[in-house]
Structure 1
Amino acid sequence: MIDLENVTVTFDEFTAVADIDLRIDEGEFVTVVGPSGCGKTTLLRTIGGLQEPTAGRVRIDGRSPAAAQAAADLGFVFQRHTLLPWKTALENVTFLRKLADQPANEGDARALLRSMGLEGFEDARPAELSGGMRQRVAIARALHLGADVLLMDEPFGELDEITRDELGVEIRDLWRRERKTVVFVTHSVPEAVFLADRCLVMRDRPGRLEAAFEIDLPDPRDASVFGSRAFQEQVAQVRETLHESYEADARASDD
């Protein structure tokens, strides 16, 4: 579904990511975690066609990211919700399909809002919603577009821990129903492990893939998973790899 071959992105003399080879299968939920500045967002933007690679190539179902965008097969959810403040929640959900000259289905949009716990808030504007509610609307908007691939860049980054956990459960449930291909960038190791089929660890100087962990947790996943030994052990494994990479980079910087 998503293939990256020797992808490198350079800004002037700074290399953000280097020599990335990656395949993400159709319907897979992949999380990307790593230290600040390691190139996670650059990698996501390159997959989505928002950033051109300096070298290598990206293919989404055999097409360029630009072609996938033109076919409305890519959906984006960012840390900031980017909702239109003058539109209602329902109007925001249907907006992208209208922008792409595709028919918007108000019934489906209402059902998505209902599935995100927003029944009764269809006519509310963003200023009338909490941060968690606004992110739910943004996620529903991306799903209503009908894209096969969802690219999510720290969508819970500005939320409190409890709301993040609740949204994580909801996103995982939505993914089980919709079976979209999801690439989800986060700074939170527990979040990365809870959500993923596969968790990718990045390191910097320059940004590259350090390790990949197949996540072995039961489905469906609810809040009880957070207290399980299997979850805690896998979080510890990912954290250990992150710390080892950080220490190795620090030593290299001192040399």
Structure 2
Amino acid sequence: MVGDETSAEEATRTDRATAIRLDGVTVNFEDVRALENVDLRVDDGEFVTVIGPSGCGKTTLLRTVGGLQDPTAGTVRVGRDSPDAARRDGEFGFVFQRHALLPWKSALANVVFLREMAGKSPDREAARDLLGTVGLAGFEESRPAELSGGMRQRVAIARALHLGASVLLMDEPFGELDELTREEMGVEVRRVWRDRNKTVLFVTHSVPEAVFLADRCVVMSDQPGEIAAVFDVELPRPRDESVYGTTAFQEQVARVRTALHEGYELR
């Protein structure tokens, strides 16, 4: 049954519209070139992970897609719009390593806060449902200090979803979590992604995490960041923690790790 689901998903991927497209994107900061000639396409509803050595421009790539950083050269499109237009229209939900929750607000109030700031009417019942979706039913009135690290990241994910964004840009969101919690959160994020039909671009330093989460995994070279390799991740869908123990998973990890080291050695 899983094989049938995988085949069906792969067949429909070729018919999907492009959600994100970068053509020849270069980003310079004074004397530092962060990205060089990056070409990348992310299809609607696809989960793409980005991995590379520290300082290779992964976060710059995410910020450029999200309209927070202008490219020095090249073009970025989000659907048919520029990143700035897509950001103004609320097409992006950002989830960062530091959750940036307001400590004096409850989990529920934090979820609706960004919609309020964007001038959109919050839906508190929908926000409650989202907290339930990410496993936080019963914690709606808890403040961040009363929640674990993983729970705070769940609130941040629910907050991004409550904006109604079609694209989630996630920058090391599990970086401060222990390994077991990271794995649990990976399962949770894939489930939410599948159920909510979002497009996800996810930056990580962890090769196993990059492989577990992805439809495709993008490997970047050392600075200036270029795309060294792109891998289709051929693992069953849906996935749970049992995937980590399979030979197929270990082989995928080994391929990505080899490309990562080769990309680093190019410099």
Unpaired stretches in structure 2, ≥5 consecutive residues: 1-18
Corresponding residue of 1:139: 157
Question: 1:86-124 deviations in whole A, cap 9, x for unaligned?
Answer: 110000001111111112111111111112111111001
Find out whether 1:227 has 2:245 as its counterpart: yes
Q: In 2, Cα distance between the equivalents of 1:205 and 1:196? A: 23
Q: State the aligned residue count.
A: 249
Cα offset, 1:16, TM superposition: 0.3
Cα offset, 1:191, TM superposition: 0.3
AA aligned opposite 2:87: Q
Q: In 2, Cα distance between the equivalents of 1:205 and 1:144? A: 35
Alignment equivalent of 2:125, drawn from 90, 107, 127: 107
Alignment equivalent of 2:226, drawn from 208, 229, 237: 208
Unpaired stretches in structure 1, ≥5 consecutive residues: 250-255
Corresponding residue of 2:39: 21
- Does the 8 Å contact 2:59/2:171 carry over to 1? yes
Q: In 2, Cα distance between the equivalents of 1:228 and 1:205? A: 33
Corresponding residue of 1:96: 114
Cα offset, 1:246, TM superposition: 2.0
- Does the 8 Å contact 2:34/2:57 carry over to 1? yes
Q: How does 1:2-81 map to 2 (within 5 A)?
A: 2-81=20-99
Q: Secondary structure at the match of 1:86?
A: coil
Corresponding residue of 1:252: none
Query: Which runs of 4 or more aligned residues in structure 1 lie more than 6 Å from their structure 2 counterparts after TM superposition?
Result: none
Question: 1:171-206 deviations in whole A, cap 9, x for unaligned?
Answer: 001111111110000000000000000000001231
Q: In 1, Cα distance between the equivalents of 2:61 and 2:247? A: 32
Cα offset, 1:247, TM superposition: 2.6
- Does the 8 Å contact 2:55/2:223 carry over to 1? no
Cα offset, 1:233, TM superposition: 0.5
Q: In 1, Cα distance between the equivalents of 2:220 and 2:136? A: 35
Question: 1:220-239 deviations in whole A, cap 9, x for unaligned?
Answer: 10010110111110001000
Q: Secondary structure at the match of 2:104?
A: coil
Q: In 1, Cα distance between the equivalents of 2:53 and 2:36? A: 16
Q: In 1, Cα distance between the equivalents of 2:86 and 2:24? A: 20
TM-score of the superposed pair, with normalisation by structure 2: 0.92
Aligned-pair Cα RMSD in Å: 0.8
Q: In 2, Cα distance between the equivalents of 1:67 and 1:52? A: 13
Corresponding residue of 2:215: 197
TM-score of the superposed pair, with normalisation by structure 1: 0.96
Find out whether 1:246 has 2:264 as its counterpart: yes
Q: In 1, Cα distance between the equivalents of 2:246 and 2:26? A: 38
Q: In 1, Cα distance between the equivalents of 2:265 and 2:23? A: 28
